[in-house]
Chains A and B, each alone.
Chain A
Amino acid sequence: MEGHVMEDIFPVRVLPTVDRQNRRFWTSGEEGRLCIERCTDCGAWIHPPTGICSSCHSSSVEPTVVSGRGTIYSFTVNHQPWFGDIGPYCVVLVDLEEGSAAQPLRITSNLVGTDPDDVAIGMPVEVFFVRCDDVWLPQFREIR
């Protein structure tokens, strides 16, 4: 997995409030890795992080490194100029390869570097990160 930090496509972003619960998800990109909360008792993945396993209700959960690879479950190309005229950008729902169809491990993100006309459901993608202040936002690019 390549995890280096890239230039951002947005002039400004609404950012998360980093707290004890979500810190690893929003900052592990500094190390070039994506971390998702996982139950150390039953192995279930938990996202968004809650500190409690949704499968066995254990509180033995830990941010755990994932591969950063997945496929596009759905997407949209935004044209509305919420941020001024920055041109179309692609929002994606990525199902990470550690999940399953019944229990997808899914995060919302952006697809960068692919022509919006070429984005498709099922496209394989991998994570990279952009830094905004104290958070490292996961972003995705197509695996060609």
Chain B
Amino acid sequence: MTGRAEHRRRSERDAVISGIGQSEVGRRLGRTAMSLTVEACLAAAADAGLTLNDIDGLSTYPGGVMDGLNPGFGGPGTDAVQDTLRLDLNWHSGGHEGPAQIQAVINAAMAVTTGLARHVLVYRTVWESTAQGSGGRQGMGGAGGGRARMAGSLQYLLPFGAVSAANWLAMNAQRHFHTYGTTRETLGEIAVNNRRNAGLNPKAIFRDPMSMDDYLAARMISTPLCLFDCDVPVDGSTAFIVSHRDYAPDVPNTAVGINAVGTALHGRPSWDQRPDMEESPLRAAADAMWARTELTRADVDTAQLYDGFSIITLMAIEALGFCAIGEAKNYLEGGHRISLDGELPLNTAGGQLSAGRLHGFGLLHEACVQLRGQGGERQVSGEPEVAVVANGGGPIAGTMLVTRGVS
């Protein structure tokens, strides 16, 4: 698998991220998903120095049909956005079956590199905070609200009160603790790190300082995961413009190059059926990504790794090879390596744990901010040139290596 990938032309390098945009982000904003989406999309186009007349491609995750599963999870589909903005498109795509949230960006890059489109608008909108209201976070499938019926793979989870990814990922964490001696403190290093970074991000939701003691004292959600191991639902939309690299010299801000992507998925795409649940499905995608680049882990200046739950981030650090599988306890000890001035500054805007659950896209947005040198108080020193982004991490995953300027 890896051998074949090595001999492919790395055509993703013909694509760049020419613009980024993000709406207001907050809890229970009471705005519509379309209002947030349009705010982010217009900001991204303007940031790229383009008008909507220049946009000829449209891409999103998860598409417009997902809200029945988890209120506020899906934003508007491409048809709704195309119609609202009256776009004329040469290519369009929205869906959730693929290498996690970042698949929408990867699809856009492929559309650009195949010549199907020149400037693709990519967006991801969540409005879970408003949709779920003030009554606490909800389980899937209407759990607690009546006797619902469920088909598909979730029928083998939800009847047993395993109604949230918190329950499912907790069982990955329990395996990791059991097999490798990982502890709550190990996960706490990620949560504390992200909170510290969020304090430097004016748009973050939780900015108050949090100590390890605060973390350890938090109420349990699903053992061994506590409240601060779980991300915070928000309302917000994030958008990118993916353009052909020919456009890079005209980009008003620094173009962000797409150096390599990882889309592989080996083994069973399942929350509960993977034989070794200590390992993330990201591993195959990460191996495929590294095989597509001459860059190495030592070249990475910042990592923006999915943190829907802290255990996903821990498993991503291992899957990407920053330490061996099972070594995260030592790697994360004291939190120095992942801090802003460490060797691998992690989730520098606060991640989903503290800045808010922008569902993968917030992490790619922050990678671009850092590579463009626009991080303000949280800017990684030394003009970072390479960032790695990972999305997903339950049954599926995707990853991307991005650079300051074209790759």
Contacts and interface: CB of A to CB of B under 8 A. Distances in A.
A82 B161 contact: yes
B365 to A, nearest CB: 29
A32 interface: no
B159 A16 contact: yes
Contacts of B166: 80
B148 A80 contact: no
Contacts of A132: 147, 159
Contacts of A22: 155
A19 interface: yes
B159 A15 contact: yes
Interface in A24-42: none
B139 A48 contact: no
Interface stretch (B93-101, B217-225, B279-287, B398-406): B217-225
B145 to A, nearest CB: 8
B3 interface: no
A16 B272 CA distance: 17
A15 B150 contact: yes
Interface string B328-342: 000000000000000
Nearest to B277: A74
B105 interface: no
B141 A82 contact: no
B382 interface: no
A80 B223 contact: no
B154 to A, nearest CB: 8
A78 B161 contact: yes
Nearest to A130: B159
B200 interface: no
B160 A82 contact: no
Interface in A12-62: 12-17, 19, 22, 47-48
A67 to B, nearest CB: 20
A82 B164 contact: yes
Nearest to B275: A104
Contacts of B172: 74
A81 B136 contact: yes
Contact of B220 (A14, A79, A89): A79
A76 B222 contact: yes
Contact of B156 (A10, A48, A84): A48
B157 A74 contact: no
Contact of B223 (A17, A79, A102, A106): A79
Contacts of A77: 220, 222-223
A84 B160 contact: no
A106 B273 contact: yes
Contacts of B159: 13-16, 132, 135, 137
B216 interface: no
Interface string B310-346: 0000000000000000000000000000000000000
A135 B160 CA distance: 13
Nearest to A139: B160
A133 B159 CA distance: 12
B171 A75 contact: yes
Contacts of A84: 144
B158 interface: yes
B221 A80 contact: yes
A76 B174 contact: yes
Nearest to B170: A76
B272 A82 contact: no
A107 B272 CA distance: 8
Contacts of B143: 12, 14, 82-83
A121 B164 contact: no
A24 to B, nearest CB: 14
Interface in B124-143: 136-143
A108 interface: yes
A83 B147 contact: no
Contact of B158 (A14, A78, A109): A14
Contacts of B158: 13-14
Most buried by A among B151, B161, B164, B277: B161
Contacts of B164: 80, 82
Contact of A110 (B139, B161, B171): B161
Contacts of A102: 275
Contacts of A79: 219-223
Given A79-B220, A102-B275, A121-B175, A14 B141 contact: yes
A17 B158 CA distance: 12
Contacts of B369: none
Contacts of A73: 175, 277
A12 B275 CA distance: 30
Nearest to B225: A76
A93 interface: yes
Q: Which 4 A-B pairs have the closest CB atoms?
A: A16-B155, A76-B170, A14-B158, A74-B171
Given A82-B161, A109-B160, 5 more contacts: A14-B148, A74-B175, A76-B171, A83-B143, A133-B147
5 contacts: A14-B141, A75-B174, A76-B171, A76-B225, A93-B277
